[in-house]
């Protein structure tokens, strides 16, 4: 792992640095950042719910074998793995698809199919930290288990597209490929099925130079393979590899109203376990680290000891979407406080606390000045905290039983009774 310098955490100037700082590759989130994260999380959860998906959650750590069975022993170098006090070899989860499949096998095998599941959680990878890539990061994803392949693939693609739209991204590219396209391309070019396996990792890594050497050694039609792998466009691209299995998915997307995608036969994602449609989404504004979503149809249940089941899923890089939204200048609405109550003195605090409790009981967000500020400073603080209105309680309000309500955006002030505010 190359050495690098840790970005210095925020400090309070004269207070100096803390003796204990956050671990490298992790982040703290101040309130305004958490509000943005919760806003995006809520949008994604709501979208999944509209599609009939139900949420699941898995442990933050699992047995190492859960991940090495899927990705090989090499993945251990990129994981936080450890031995617990009982000698068990465990790892913080590097992704959420494998844990979700384990959950299915242990707890949902007997449930009616198809199962439509979504999840949101933090994951951990020992990687070089950079913008949009951290050692602790968050994934939002979804899986369909037990649906017929084409309907499941159409539904997952429709959900992925809807999630990206709901996130507020203005510019993104949904790119679709198919393992069947690649296998038929190689077969049509003179590479029999039993000789294709060594070529798949080269396609996955886009190592076209090494791929070309291998194709020449096999006597295959290299020009045709390279032409198709370099293709990108609409459904007409599939005319170069007819009968690949992706045509029916595209027909379904047209009916489902999914538009603007790009067909790229050269897309390959972990071809050892992907078996059908594969797809990714890029945000060009992010530069080199532009991918924010990836997924496809895969086979994992047999690997974990269960019967074969059609499985299609995707995961969204939650943190990268937030970086992309910032790059695109998206305006995420800040959290708003309905009321900020300002008692002008100790004798008004009793009435202020009663009003505070009534507003909260009515489901309205409210806070109260607890620093005995002057009116001007209290109003300034109320504005900076995001409050929409201030309630001022002084001697006159005590005498009349009314509240002075000030709109902090317009400056307009009026008298109102508590019962009226509770009803708004």
Whether residues 271 and 367 share a domain: the answer is: no
Whether residues 252 and 137 share a domain: the answer is: yes
What pLDDT is attached to residue 200?
83
**Cα–Cα distance list, 109 to 14, 52, 103, 146, 392 (Å):** 58, 19, 9, 10, 59
What is the rounded average pLDDT of the residues 374-401? Answer: 96
Mean pLDDT of the chain: 90
Give the domain-ending residue among 327, 347, 381: 327
Q: 196-214 pLDDT, tens per residue?
A: 888 888 888 888 899 999 9
Within-domain flag for 4 = no
DSSP assignment string, 125-173 = -----BTTB-SEEEEEEEEEESS-HHHHHHHHHHHHHHHHHHTT-S--E
Whether residues 313 and 401 share a domain: the answer is: no
Within-domain flag for 77 = yes
Whole-number Å distance between alpha carbons of 293 and 141: 9
Within-domain flag for 11 = no
Whether residues 55 and 154 share a domain: the answer is: yes
Q: Which one has a higher pLDDT value, 6 or 185?
A: 185
| Pairing mode of beta strands 136-145, 61-63 | unpaired
Whether residues 44 and 189 share a domain: the answer is: yes
Per-residue confidence band for 230, with pLDDT thresholds at 50, 70 and 90 = confident
Whether residues 210 and 62 share a domain: the answer is: yes
Domain CATH code at residue 371: 3.40.50.800
Whole-number Å distance between alpha carbons of 373 and 341: 12
Within-domain flag for 16 = no
Whole-number Å distance between alpha carbons of 255 and 283: 25
Whether residues 245 and 304 share a domain: the answer is: yes
Least confident range from 111-125, 240-254, 395-409: namely 240-254
Exposed/middle/buried for residue 300 (C-beta within 10 Å: 0-12, 13-18, 19+) = buried
Q: 102-122 pLDDT, tens per residue?
A: 999 999 999 999 999 999 999
Domain CATH code at residue 196: 3.30.930.10
Q: Which one has a higher pLDDT value, 23 or 267?
A: 23
Within-domain flag for 7 = no
User: Which residues, including other chains, have CB under 8 Å from residue 314's CB and lie 6 or more apart?
Assistant: 141, 142, 156, 159, 160, 279, 293, 294, 295, 296
Whole-number Å distance between alpha carbons of 300 and 273: 7
Q: Is pLDDT of 70 > 80?
A: no
Q: Rounded to 5 degrees, what are φ and ψ at 324?
A: -65, -40
What pLDDT is attached to residue 304?
79
Give the domain-ending residue among 327, 352, 387: 327
Whether residues 311 and 347 share a domain: the answer is: no
Whether residues 162 and 185 share a domain: the answer is: yes
Q: Is pLDDT of 242 > 80?
A: no
What is the domain extent for residue 72?
Answer: 22-327
Q: In what order do the strands lie in the sheet with 403-407?
A: 366-368, 337-343, 387-393, 403-407, 413-416
Tokens found for residue 9: 């955490």
Whether residues 133 and 250 share a domain: the answer is: yes
Whether residues 277 and 394 share a domain: the answer is: no
SS3 87: coil
Whether residues 265 and 377 share a domain: the answer is: no
Give the domain-ending residue among 293, 327, 361: 327
Within-domain flag for 10 = no
Within-domain flag for 390 = yes
| Count: domains in the chain | 2
Q: What is the pTM of this model?
A: 0.87
What pLDDT is attached to residue 301?
84
Within-domain flag for 17 = no
Q: Which one has a higher pLDDT value, 389 or 247?
A: 389
* Helical axes 222-229 vs 179-188, angle rounded to 10°: 160
What pLDDT is attached to residue 137?
96
Q: 132-186 pLDDT, tens per residue?
A: 789 999 999 999 999 999 999 999 999 999 999 999 999 999 999 988 888 888 9
Q: Is pLDDT of 17 > 70?
A: no
């Amino acid at each position: 792992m190359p050495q690098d310098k840790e970005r210095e955490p925020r400090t309070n100037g004269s207070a100096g640095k803390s003796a204990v700082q956050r671990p490298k590759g992790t982040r703290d989130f101040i309130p305004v950042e958490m509000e943005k994260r919760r806003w995006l999380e809520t949008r994604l959860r709501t979208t999944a719910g509209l599609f009939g998906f139900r949420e699941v959650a898995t442990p933050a750590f699992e047995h190492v074998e859960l991940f090495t069975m899927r990705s090989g022993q090499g993945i251990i170098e990129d994981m936080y793995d450890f031995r617990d006090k009982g000698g068990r070899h465990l790892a913080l989860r590097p992704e959420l698809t494998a844990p979700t499949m384990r959950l299915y096998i242990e707890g949902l095998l007997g449930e009616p199919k198809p199962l439509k599941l979504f999840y949101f959680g933090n994951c951990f990878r020992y990687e070089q930290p950079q913008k949009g890539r951290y050692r602790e990061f968050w994934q939002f994803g979804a899986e369909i288990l037990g649906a017929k392949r084409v309907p499941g693939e159409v539904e997952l693609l429709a959900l992925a597209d809807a999630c990206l739209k709901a996130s507020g991204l203005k510019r993104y590219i949904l790119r679709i490929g198919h393992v069947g396209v690649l296998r038929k391309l190689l077969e049509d070019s003179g590479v029999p099925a039993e000789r294709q396996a060594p070529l798949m990792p080269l396609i996955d890594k886009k190592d076209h130079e090494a791929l070309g050497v291998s194709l020449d050694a096999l006597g295959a039609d290299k020009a045709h393979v390279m032409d198709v792998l370099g293709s990108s466009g609409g459904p007409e691209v599939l005319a170069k590899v007819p009968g690949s299995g992706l045509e029916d998915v595209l027909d379904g997307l047209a009916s489902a109203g999914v538009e603007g995608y790009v067909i790229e036969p050269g897309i390959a994602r972990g071809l050892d376990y992907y078996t059908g449609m594969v797809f990714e989404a890029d945000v060009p504004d992010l530069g080199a680290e532009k991918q924010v979503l990836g997924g496809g149809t895969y086979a994992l249940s047999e690997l974990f000891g269960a019967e074969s089941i059609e499985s299609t899923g995707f995961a969204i890089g939650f943190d990268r979407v937030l970086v992309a939204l910032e790059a695109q200048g998206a305006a995420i609405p800040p959290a708003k406080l309905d009321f900020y109550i300002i008692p002008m003195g100790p004798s008004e605090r009793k009435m202020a606390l009663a009003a505070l409790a009534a507003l909260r009981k009515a489901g309205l967000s409210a806070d109260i000045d607890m620093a005995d500020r002057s009116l001007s400073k209290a109003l300034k603080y109320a504005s900076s905290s995001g409050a929409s209105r201030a309630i001022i309680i002084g001697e006159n309000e005590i005498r009349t039983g009314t509240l002075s309500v000030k709109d902090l955006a317009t400056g307009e002030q009026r008298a109102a009774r508590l019962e009226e505010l509770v009803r708004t």
